[in-house]
């Protein structure tokens, strides 16, 4: 257990509204990641962070922004939610360097109507 929690665990929202998902870790790991999981696509990287205020884009970053003002929290914001962003979102951390295995949170199921 890497001490990762995500909130909320489930959310239903409407198109055009902003949504923020939170990932919290308790072990001061440097690297944190946000993925989305969709049938037939596996997990795709949205954004990642390699330290406080240090973030970078992943494969599917359009429509998403992130912030990391504290080591333990990594926030994912959907600036104006669309139905195509209905998905399950997973946060992950890496111990040590960014090449090591990743450990995942329990996920947030987001539905955009």
Partner 1 sequence: AQSVTQPDIHITVSEGASLELRCNYSYGATPYLFWYVQSPGQGLQLLLKYFSGDTLVQGIKGFEAEFKRSQSSFNLRKPSVHWSDAAEYFCAVSGNQFYFGTGTSLTVIP
Exactly one of 21, 23, 48, 60 binds partner 1 (CB under 8 A); that residue is 48
Contacts 24+ apart (CB under 8 A), 94-102: 94/29, 94/30, 94/31, 94/33, 95/2, 95/29, 97/31, 98/31, 98/50, 102/33
Nearer to partner 1, 43 or 52 (CB): 43
Neighbours of 2 (CB within 10 A): 16
Going residue by residue from 68 to 107, which x/- string records binding to partner 1, judged by CB under 8 A?
Answer: ----------------------x-x-----xxxxxxxxxx
Helix ranges restricted to H, the chain? none
Residues in region 4-43 near partner 1 by CB under 8 A: 33, 40-43
Nearer to partner 1, 4 or 78 (CB): 4
Chain positions contacting partner 1, by CB under 8 A: 33, 40-45, 48, 58-59, 90, 92, 98-107
């Amino acid at each position: 257990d890497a001490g990762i929690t995500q909130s909320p665990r489930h959310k239903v929202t409407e198109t055009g509204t902003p949504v923020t998902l939170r990932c919290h870790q308790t072990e001061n790991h440097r690297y944190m990641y946000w993925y989305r999981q969709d049938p037939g696509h596996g997990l795709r990287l949205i954004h990642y962070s390699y330290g406080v205020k240090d973030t970078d884009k992943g494969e599917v970053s359009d429509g998403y922004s992130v912030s990391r003002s504290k080591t333990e929290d990594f926030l994912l914001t959907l600036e104006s939610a669309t139905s195509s962003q209905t998905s399950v979102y997973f946060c992950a951390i890496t111990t040590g360097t960014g090449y090591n295995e990743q450990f995942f949170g329990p996920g947030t199921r987001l539905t955009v109507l």
